[in-house]
C-alpha cells in the first residue's frame, strides 16, 4: 500500500482561526468587564437592584425598575405602531406595482436604515414631538381624559419617545419582512389563485401564514434595536427617573440614564450602578437577538424544504 | 350583492389600505430628509462652516471643522483596528466554513451586530479611559471598531463565498499553498465586496453618538491628538441641538445635514461597487 503523502499542517487555517476568535472573545470580555465594573453595585444591592424604584446619588440608593419599565414600554409601544405598517409596506414592496418603482422604494427604505440615530433625534425634538403634542396628545387627552392614563400631555415623554422609535425601526422591519415574504415559494401563491382565491385571501391566508416565523423574527430583531437605541430616545423622553403616571409623562430608559449621567457620576457606587444598568441592557438585548436569529434561521430552513 | 362580488370588493379595499399604509410609512421618513436639508442648508452654505471651529454664542462665523476632522481621525483609527481583523475573520469563515469554530464565530458576530452601542461605550470606558484617567480619541476608536467589526466580517465572508470554487481549485491544482490561494487569488477577486463592507462599516461608525459620549467626549477646540478628548460630528449635533440658543441649534442642523450627506453618499457608492462585484463574479 502506498502511504498518503505527508502534508504540512495548514498554518493559514490556524492563523485565521486565531484572528477569528476576536469576535467571540470580545463578546465574552465585554460582559465580564461590565460585570466586574458593576461589582460594587451588584454586591451592595443584589437582586433588589432590579425591583427598587429609588435613584438617589445623595443617599447612594439605586434601583433599576423605572429605567427597565421605560425601556420595555417604549420598545413595545414602538412595535405596536410600527409592525402593522411595516408588514403592509413589506407586502406591497414584495409583490405589488412595477419592478422599477419597487426596487427604488426598496433601496430608499434600506438607505433610511443607515441614517444616524442622532439625526432622527434632532428631527424628533424639533418637528415630531411638538407636532404629536399638538395633534395627537392634546386631542386624545381632551376626548379620553376620563381615563387617567391618557391625561397630562407633554412634548417630551414616553409616547413621543415610542413614536420616534417606531419611525426608526420601520426601515429594518420592512426590509427584513420583505425578504422573508419574497422567499415564500411562488407555487403557494399560484395554487391559491388557481383555486379562485382573491388577492387578499391569498395574501392573508396563504402568504403571510407561510412567512409568519420569519416576520416574527424580523419583529424580534426590531425589538432588539429599539431596546438598545440611545440618543434619539434620550432627546425626547423627558429624563425623569420614575415610573410615569400617564402614557404621555416624562420617563427614562436604561440607555438614556447612562448617556445623561455617566460623565457626571462620582464616587464608586454611582458609576457602578450605571454600569449595572448597562449590564442589564446588554444581557436583555443579547437574549432577544439570539432568539430572533434562531427564529429567522429555522424559518429559512423550513421554507427551503 | 352576491358573495363573490363582496370578496372582490374586500380584496380591492385591503389592497387600497396597504397602499395607504405604505404612503403613511414614507411620510415621516421623507420628512426627516426634508427638514434636515431645509434647516441645515442655511448653515452649510457659509464656507466658513467647514473651515472654522466653534465660537462663543453671538459671535458670527462659527464652524464645525474640528468635528469633521475629529470624526475622520476617530473612524480612521477604528478602521485600522477593525478592517484587518474583520477581513481575515471573513476569509476564515468563507474558506473554512465547515469548521466547527466557524459556526461559533458566525454566531458571535451576528450577536455583536445587535449589541447596544452605549454598552460598547461603557466597555471602552472601562478598558481605556478608566486606566488612563482621561477621555481620549483612541478610546472612542476602540468602541467604534467593536461596532464596525461584525459588519466587515459578514460582508467579507459573503464576498469571498461569491467567488466560484473553480478559481480556488485551479490554484490548488497548480500546487499553491492554501494561504497563497486565499490571500493572492481569492481575496483580490473579492476586493470590491470587501470594500463595500468596509465602507458600510465606516458609514455606521461615523454616525454613532452614544459610544463617544464618555470616550472621545468632545472638544470645543481644533485637535489632531487622538490621545486627548476630540470632537466628532454626531457629538456636535447632539450637544448643540439641546442648547437653548438659536445659533447653536442651526449649527446642529447644519452638522446633521453634513452627516446625512456623508452617510448616504458612502452607502450609494458601496452599493454601486457591490453591484459591479456581483456582475464580475458572474463572469469568472
pLDDT at B124: 93
Burial class (CB in 10 A: 0-12, 13-18, 19+), B283: exposed
Q: What ipTM was predicted for this assembly?
A: 0.90
Ranges of chain A with pLDDT below 50: 304-305
Q: Hey, are the CB atoms on A290 and B111 less than 8 Å from each other?
A: yes
pLDDT at B1: 64
A85 touches chain B (CB under 8 A): yes
pLDDT at A1: 63
Q: So what's the architecture of A42-304 in CATH? A: Orthogonal Bundle (1.10)
Mutate to test the interface with B, among A7, A10, A26 (most CBs of B within 10 A): A26
Minimum distance, in Å, between the CA of residue B191 and any CA atom of chain A: 18
pLDDT at B90: 92
Which three cell numbers mark A186? Answer: 411562488
Identity of the residue in B123, B149, B238 whose CB atom sits nearest the CB atom of A23: B149
pLDDT at B281: 67
pLDDT at A305: 41
| 10-residue mean pLDDT series, chain B (284 residues) | 84 87 86 92 87 82 89 94 93 88 89 89 91 90 94 90 86 87 87 87 92 88 86 92 89 92 90 79 66
Q: Hey, are the CB atoms on A262 and B88 less than 8 Å from each other?
A: no
Identity of the residue in B18, B200, B252 whose CB atom sits nearest the CB atom of A91: B18
Q: Using an 8 Å CB-CB cutoff, list chain B residues near A199.
A: 11, 14-15
Mutate to test the interface with A, among B119, B185, B275 (most CBs of A within 10 A): B119
Q: Using an 8 Å CB-CB cutoff, list chain A residues near B110.
A: 289, 293
Q: Hey, are the CB atoms on B150 and A23 less than 8 Å from each other?
A: yes
Q: Hey, are the CB atoms on A23 and B89 less than 8 Å from each other?
A: yes
Residues A108-117: pLDDT tens digits? 888 888 899 9
Give residue limits of the domains in chain B: 3-44, 51-283
> CA B80 from chain center: how many Å?
15
Give residue limits of the domains in chain A: 42-304
A155 touches chain B (CB under 8 A): no
Q: Hey, are the CB atoms on A19 and B126 less than 8 Å from each other?
A: no
Residues A254-285: pLDDT tens digits? 999 999 998 888 888 888 999 999 999 999 89
Minimum distance, in Å, between the CA of residue A195 and any CA atom of chain B: 13
Minimum distance, in Å, between the CA of residue A54 and any CA atom of chain B: 22
What is the topology classification, in CATH, of domain B51-283? Answer: MetI-like fold (1.10.3720)
Per residue, what are the HEC states of B132-144?
Answer: HCCCCHHHHHHHH
Q: Hey, are the CB atoms on A231 and B210 less than 8 Å from each other?
A: yes
pLDDT at B12: 87
Q: Using an 8 Å CB-CB cutoff, list chain B residues near A203.
A: 14
pTM here?
0.91
Identity of the residue in B26, B32, B109 whose CB atom sits nearest the CB atom of A120: B32
Amino acid at each position: 500500500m502506498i502511504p498518503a503523502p505527508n502534508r504540512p499542517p495548514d498554518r493559514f487555517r490556524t492563523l485565521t482561526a486565531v484572528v477569528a476568535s476576536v469576535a467571540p472573545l470580545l463578546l465574552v470580555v465585554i460582559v465580564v468587564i461590565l460585570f466586574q465594573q458593576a461589582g460594587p453595585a451588584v454586591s451592595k444591592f443584589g437582586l433588589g437592584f432590579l425591583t427598587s424604584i429609588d435613584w438617589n446619588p445623595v443617599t447612594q440608593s439605586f434601583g433599576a425598575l423605572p429605567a427597565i419599565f421605560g425601556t420595555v414600554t417604549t420598545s413595545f409601544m414602538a412595535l405596536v405602531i410600527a409592525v402593522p405598517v411595516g408588514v403592509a409596506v413589506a407586502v406591497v414592496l414584495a409583490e405589488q406595482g412595477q419592478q422599477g418603482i419597487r426596487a427604488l422604494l426598496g433601496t430608499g427604505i434600506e438607505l433610511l436604515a443607515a441614517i444616524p440615530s442622532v439625526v432622527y433625534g434632532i428631527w424628533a425634538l424639533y418637528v415630531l414631538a411638538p407636532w404629536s403634542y399638538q395633534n395627537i396628545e392634546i386631542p386624545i387627552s381632551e376626548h379620553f381624559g376620563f381615563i387617567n392614563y391618557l391625561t397630562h400631555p407633554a412634548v417630551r415623554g414616553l409616547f413621543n419617545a415610542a413614536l420616534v422609535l417606531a419611525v426608526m425601526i420601520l426601515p429594518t422591519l420592512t426590509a427584513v419582512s420583505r425578504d422573508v415574504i419574497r422567499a415564500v415559494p411562488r407555487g403557494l401563491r399560484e395554487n391559491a389563485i388557481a383555486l379562485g382565491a382573491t388577492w387578499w385571501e391569498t395574501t392573508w391566508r396563504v402568504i403571510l401564514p407561510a412567512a409568519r416565523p420569519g416576520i416574527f423574527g424580523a419583529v424580534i430583531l426590531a425589538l432588539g434595536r429599539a431596546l438598545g437605541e440611545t440618543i434619539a430616545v434620550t432627546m425626547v423622553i423627558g429624563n425623569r427617573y420614575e415610573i410615569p403616571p400617564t402614557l404621555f409623562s416624562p420617563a427614562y430608559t436604561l440607555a438614556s440614564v447612562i448617556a445623561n449621567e455617566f460623565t457626571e457620576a462620582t464616587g464608586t457606587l454611582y458609576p457602578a450602578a450605571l454600569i449595572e444598568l448597562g449590564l442589564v441592557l446588554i444581557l436583555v438585548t443579547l437574549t432577544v437577538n439570539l432568539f430572533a436569529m434562531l427564529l429567522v434561521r429555522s424559518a429559512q430552513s423550513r421554507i427551503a424544504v | 350583492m352576491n358573495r363573490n362580488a363582496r370578496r372582490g370588493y374586500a380584496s380591492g379595499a385591503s389592497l387600497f389600505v396597504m397602499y395607504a399604509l405604505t404612503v403613511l410609512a414614507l411620510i415621516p421618513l421623507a420628512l426627516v430628509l426634508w427638514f434636515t436639508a431645509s434647516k441645515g442648508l442655511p448653515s452649510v452654505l457659509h464656507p466658513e462652516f467647514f473651515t472654522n471651529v466653534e465660537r462663543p454664542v453671538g459671535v458670527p462665523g462659527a464652524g464645525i471643522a474640528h468635528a469633521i476632522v475629529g470624526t475622520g481621525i476617530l473612524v480612521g483609527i477604528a478602521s485600522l483596528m477593525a478592517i484587518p481583523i474583520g477581513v481575515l475573520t471573513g476569509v476564515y469563515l468563507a474558506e473554512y466554513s465547515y469548521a466547527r469554530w466557524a459556526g461559533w464565530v458566525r454566531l458571535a458576530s451576528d450577536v455583536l451586530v445587535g449589541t447596544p452601542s452605549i454598552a460598547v461605550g461603557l466597555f471602552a470606558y472601562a478598558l481605556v479611559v478608566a486606566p488612563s484617567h482621561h477621555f481620549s480619541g483612541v478610546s472612542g476608536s476602540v468602541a467604534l471598531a467593536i461596532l464596525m467589526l461584525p459588519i466587515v466580517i459578514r460582508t467579507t465572508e459573503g464576498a469571498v463565498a461569491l467567488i466560484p470554487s473553480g478559481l480556488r481549485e485551479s490554484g490548488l491544482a497548480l500546487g499553491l499553498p492554501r494561504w497563497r490561494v486565499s490571500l493572492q487569488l481569492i481575496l483580490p477577486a473579492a476586493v470590491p465586496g470587501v470594500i463595500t463592507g468596509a465602507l458600510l462599516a465606516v458609514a455606521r461608525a461615523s454616525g454613532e453618538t452614544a459610544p463617544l459620549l464618555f470616550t472621545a467626549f468632545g472638544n470645543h477646540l481644533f485637535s489632531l491628538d487622538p490621545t486627548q478628548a476630540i470632537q466628532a460630528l454626531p457629538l456636535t449635533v447632539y450637544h448643540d441641538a439641546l442648547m437653548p440658543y438659536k445659533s447653536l441649534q442651526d449649527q446642529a442642523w447644519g452638522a446633521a445635514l453634513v452627516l446625512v450627506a456623508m452617510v448616504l453618499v458612502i452607502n450609494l457608492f458601496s452599493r454601486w461597487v457591490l453591484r459591479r462585484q456581483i456582475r464580475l463574479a458572474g463572469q469568472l
